[in-house]
Chain A
Amino acid sequence: MFAEDDLLPLSALQHLLFCERQCALIHVEQLWVENLFTAQGRLMHERVDSGGHERRGNVRTVCAMPLRSMRLGLVGKADVVEFHQQKSGEWLPFPVEHKRGRPKKENWDRVQLCAQAICLEEALGVKVKEGALFYGKNRRRQSVEFDSCLRAETEETSARLHELIASARTPPPLYDKKCDSCSLKELCLPKTLEKPHRVERYLKRMMAD
């Protein structure tokens, strides 16, 4: 169990899965740069955040719902949580996370959603079996089942996140294609910093003339 002071943002899971260094730059070094992608994402969330409550038949929708899990040590917000009324009359939570882009091969978005589900389970004492990701690019919902495999990955990811933040170290960069879409690229300098002992050589060169 974590203490309230040690809770980390839910969104950091995704940063960690994208790139450990990016995660440390944002959450240890507190760097943030907006680019086209992040701005679009922010605007999209502003719309979702402005929501509120709504009820349509047997679905009740809550926007920008605050969440936390003391077990995983995470805190944040769910874009949308739908409550689906069961035949028994019980309302079951169903988290829906909005994403700007398109569905990804990797599990990044599913892990974040699963963490939200675990938060909901902790708060409401119910089992959350399913949720969905809504992608802005194709405007489609993709349903996500919270199976034991995804749950294990989510637990492992949040444990790694806590380790990384506690170490207060920023891992060295490794240049990869995905760096080109990262808004922190100019601060991270992956290509420049990959190779060690460059500065000493550079200074010698500058003095040579």
Chain B
Amino acid sequence: MKKHLNTLFVTTQGAWLAKEGETVAVKVGGKVRLQLPIHTLDGIVCFGQVSCSPFLMGFCAERDVCISFLTENGRFLARVQGPVSGNVLLRREQYRWADDPERSAAIARAVIIGKLVNSRKVLHRVVRDHPDKVDTVSVKQAMDRLKAILMHVRVGTSLDRLRGYEGEGAMIYFRVFDHLILNRKKEFFFEGRSRRPPLDRVNCLLSFFYTLLMHDVRSALECTGLDPAVGFLHRDRPGRPGLALDLMEEFRPYFADRLALSLVNLGQVKSKGFRKAETGAVLMDDDTRKAVLVAYQKRKQDVVTHPFLQKKMPIGLLFHTQALLLARHVRGDLDGYPVFCWQ
């Protein structure tokens, strides 16, 4: 069975990664600082000035361990990956489905249902757990509006309409997102989503988590043999991983947004851990980034019950499970895509 394994994040600038026997050795200034057996890893993510020996790259390719290179701020640069796994027939079927508006709409519909259900649930939990701290009226209003959109999506409609509902849902959700920040509101606030670049600390956290999520979802799709570039909800655009974006939707509110909120609300990130560049872009410092990465990895180890399979699994395995279920649907084994809904 597919195991939930660790991702090795290397943030130490100037680090050199090499193969030593069956292990990955992280060297800094010629000294081995960390050594991990390859079979405990499913990915290596290098931030900034981190290099890898070609032998390690080959070794990782052989063992299905994906290596990604990101800038210090987490922008994706490149990836080293072994031979494409999986099956040409599955991919061809995926492309045929992506060309078929009806089939695409059916999958897009499931994805949007997941996103809306999970967004609503995030709002619901905060209202339930902190009625005294939240503007419950606004949040409940937003929940009702999301429910109304869900009803439209439910009856099934064209791709373009669905995309419209998705956008509307995101707008309603993010409009009340600031209410979910419960303390230190002078330092942590949310005035709408900004991405290029993130203009406040909360957006900075969200963007970083979305990047990590993308890395995980994309490799889950690749492992299953699906092409992460060809999506159903997201239109093809060169360089855009459409299917990875599709599959990410259900995890944004449930996984990334909640994690960002809990780091802020529990005081696990400090406002001085962020700095503002001259351009207005907000960036994390090294210590904050490390703390955030640790939190991300830890969260992936939490165990949840999969609502469709009725099986317990670590959150980190959900990405693979969802990719697998999608592949099963495209192969004709399942009558639809059972999007992950938080219960």
- Is B184 an interface residue when CB atoms closer than 8 A count as contact? no
Nearest B residue to A191 via CB reads B309
Residue-wise, chain A 168-180 has the 8 Å CB interface mask toward B (1 for contact) of: 1010110000000
Question: How many A residues, CB 8 Å from partner?
Answer: 26
Contact A193 B331 (CB under 8 A): no
Contact (A193, B334) CB under 8 Å given A185-B1, A203-B339: yes
- Is B86 an interface residue when CB atoms closer than 8 A count as contact? yes
Nearest A residue to B333 via CB reads A193
The stretch of A10-18, A27-35, A43-51, A74-82 in contact with B is: A27-35
- Is A149 an interface residue when CB atoms closer than 8 A count as contact? no
Nearest A residue to B116 via CB reads A207
The stretch of A98-106, A127-135, A194-202 in contact with B is: A194-202
Cβ-defined partner of B89 (8 Å) among A28, A192, A196, A202: A28
Measured in the bound complex, the distance between the Cα atoms of B115 and A206 in whole Å is 11
Measured in the bound complex, the distance between the Cα atoms of B308 and A193 in whole Å is 11
Measured in the bound complex, the distance between the Cα atoms of B1 and A183 in whole Å is 6
Measured in the bound complex, the distance between the Cα atoms of B191 and A80 in whole Å is 71
- Is B307 an interface residue when CB atoms closer than 8 A count as contact? yes
Contact B110 A203 (CB under 8 A): yes
Contact B336 A30 (CB under 8 A): no
Nearest A residue to B121 via CB reads A209
Cβ-defined partner of B225 (8 Å) among A30, A170, A172: A30
A29 partner residues in chain B, CB cutoff 8 A: 86-87, 89-90, 225, 331
Cβ-defined partner of A206 (8 Å) among B85, B307, B324, B334: B307
Contact A30 B86 (CB under 8 A): yes
A186 partner residues in chain B, CB cutoff 8 A: 1-2
A196 partner residues in chain B, CB cutoff 8 A: 335
Contact A198 B335 (CB under 8 A): yes
Contact (A189, B328) CB under 8 Å given A29-B87, A203-B110: yes
Measured in the bound complex, the distance between the Cα atoms of B15 and A63 in whole Å is 45
Contact A207 B117 (CB under 8 A): yes
Contact B113 A170 (CB under 8 A): no
Residue-wise, chain A 119-161 has the 8 Å CB interface mask toward B (1 for contact) of: 0000000000000000000000000000000000000000000
- Is B103 an interface residue when CB atoms closer than 8 A count as contact? no
Cβ-defined partner of B117 (8 Å) among A170, A189, A199, A206: A206
- Is B150 an interface residue when CB atoms closer than 8 A count as contact? yes
A197 partner residues in chain B, CB cutoff 8 A: 335
Nearest B residue to A32 via CB reads B85
Contact B336 A203 (CB under 8 A): yes
Contact A203 B87 (CB under 8 A): no
Contact A206 B336 (CB under 8 A): no
- Is B329 an interface residue when CB atoms closer than 8 A count as contact? yes
Inter-chain pairs besides A30-B225, A198-B334, 13 sampled, C-beta below 8 Å? A29-B331, A172-B333, A185-B1, A186-B2, A187-B324, A189-B324, A189-B328, A193-B334, A199-B329, A199-B334, A203-B110, A206-B114, A207-B150
A-B contact pairs, 11 of them (CB 8 A): A29-B90, A187-B2, A187-B324, A189-B324, A189-B333, A199-B308, A202-B336, A206-B113, A206-B339, A206-B341, A207-B113
Interface residues of A (CB under 8 A from B): 28-31, 33, 35, 168, 170, 172-173, 183, 185-187, 189, 192-193, 196-200, 202-203, 206-207
Interface residues of B (CB under 8 A from A): 1-2, 85-87, 89-90, 110, 113-114, 117, 150, 154, 225, 307-309, 324, 328-329, 331-339, 341, 343
Q: Top 5 A-B pairs ranked by shortest CB distance?
A: A199-B336, A206-B341, A186-B1, A30-B87, A29-B87
